[in-house]
Amino acid sequence: MSLTISRILHAGYLFECGGTRIAFDPIFENPFSRNCHAFPEVRFDLEQVRKLDLAAVFISHFHDDHCSLESLDLLDRATPIYLYCQFDELFAMIRELGFEQVHPLRTDEAVAVGPFTVTPREALDAEVDSMYQIEAAGVKVLNVVDSWIAPPALAGLARAAPWDMVLWPFQTMREIEVIAPMRADHSAPEVPQEWIDQLRVLAPRYVVPSSCQFVQEPWSWYNHAMFPISYRQFTAAVESALPATRVVRLDPSVSFVLSADALTAAAPLSWVLPVGDQDVDYGYRPDAAPPPTADIARRFEPLTDAQTALVMDYCRTGLPDKYRTMELPEDSYFKKPRHWRLAVYDHTGAVAHFDYRVEGDAIEPVEDGAITWLTEVSVAKIYAALALGESLTSMYVRINDTAFDATTEEEIADADVVDDPLIRCLFNDAFGAYQAAQLRRLKSAAQLPRDVQ
């Protein structure tokens, strides 16, 4: 028997051995996660996807670019789903989708599927992520997904070295930096030394730069600001530090046969359809100037009156009510009294201001005073977060994009961007919002069996 490894999209892979096929974090959508467009570009033959015969699907964590109900909806409901997640709600949603076998995964507890042994390993954030040790046909593959390796796990993985292949997340995604670009360090970073040190411990024969560098709308400045590490840079750094290791790029649809002796090309996946040039790399531009939030807001379609009213009511009452129920971090910038302004822009670029005095978990509207924290966002994106499960990655929220007085500037320098009241109210304790919105859409479109509805 031999092991064939194929890339689907993002952190999605298909493994095949002896006629048994299993998938990891399969996404059959582009864009995925609402507004992440595959880079390089791909499409899917969904009719072929619906005919896939998978012995199991393994999902590493609940983030919507790894666990999509609209992708799972394409699969046979008898397919066993193995999910690493601390929240029962997601298991219930997948069962409500109609899947008959939905199993929780636990670190270091192996799952046997035909010729495969799949063992979840502990990630650095064990409350969210997991990694996978995959063994078949006499070879060992470590799928790090997009987590980081916990020190205790690294010691165990070192005992299994040398590895035949490691699927390594090679991005340092600047999700926080694009939220506060005025205050971010925009220098192009090096490949982290910690990555090199850990790969030396693993001593792999092959390393695959894993998780695709997605882009957003064609006009988006994020397309040159999010991913500073290129394929070329990663390859040069790893192969220079580990001369015995070969870095192999595995674009969507591409397949290889991995054996104890070699890595050879195999036929590509017929249902993943590359579009255009695939030998592309992300064009990171640290000097790219972000456009004003008003200009970004003009790019989005206008909301209906009812949708706009929902957002405005949330800003006036729903958000403050939510904020008062939340536990404030011990080191929060808002432990002291602050004047927070939420600036909400509509599709014409017009702005509505909501000003609050925030102290601890208390929040009340105010009419005047010196602003000490500023949040800017499009009304369309607040609606998308509330009703559609949109994630922070594509919200275009802008934090503190202005110059404050000297005292505020000194204090704000140590503040955590995600301490922002809007971010906390929309995304803290908002588990499964994306999948819940997907499930509502699937039900509404009558794509579920009648007894499930």
> In a 3-state reduction of DSSP, which class is residue 188?
coil
Fold of 3-274: Metallo-beta-lactamase; Chain A (3.60.15)
Mean pLDDT, the chain, whole residue set: 93
Average pLDDT over residues 426-445: 86
Domain spans of the chain, in order of start: 3-274, 293-444
Fold of the domain built from segment(s) 293-444 = Nonspecific Lipid-transfer Protein; Chain A (3.30.1050)
| Percentage of the chain exceeding pLDDT 90 | 81
Average pLDDT on 369-384 reads: 96
Nearest Cα neighbor of 57 from 67, 46, 42 is: 67
Q: Which of 158, 162, 155, 263 is nearest to 203 (CA)?
A: 162
What tens digit of pLDDT does each residue of 193-234 get? 999 999 999 999 999 999 777 999 999 999 999 999 999 999
pLDDT tens for 127-178 read 999 999 999 999 999 999 988 898 889 999 999 999 999 999 988 888 889 9
pLDDT at site 446: 57
Q: How confident is the model at residue 272, as a pLDDT?
A: 97
pTM: 0.92
The mean pLDDT of 121-131, rounded to a whole number, is 92
Task: Round to whole Å and give the CA distance between 450 and 452.
Answer: 5
pLDDT tens per residue, range 60-109: 999 999 999 999 999 999 999 999 999 999 999 999 999 999 999 999 99
CB 235 within 8 A of CB 247: yes
User: Buried (b) or exposed (e) across 226-238, using 16+ Cβ within 10 A?
Assistant: bbbbbbebbbebb
Give CA 200 to chain center in angstroms: 26
pLDDT tens, position by position, 309-360? 999 999 999 999 999 999 888 899 999 999 999 999 999 999 999 999 999 9
On the question of pLDDT at 448 being above 70, the answer is: no
Task: Fill in the amino acid letter for 77.
Answer: R
- Cβ count within 10 A of residue 258: 26
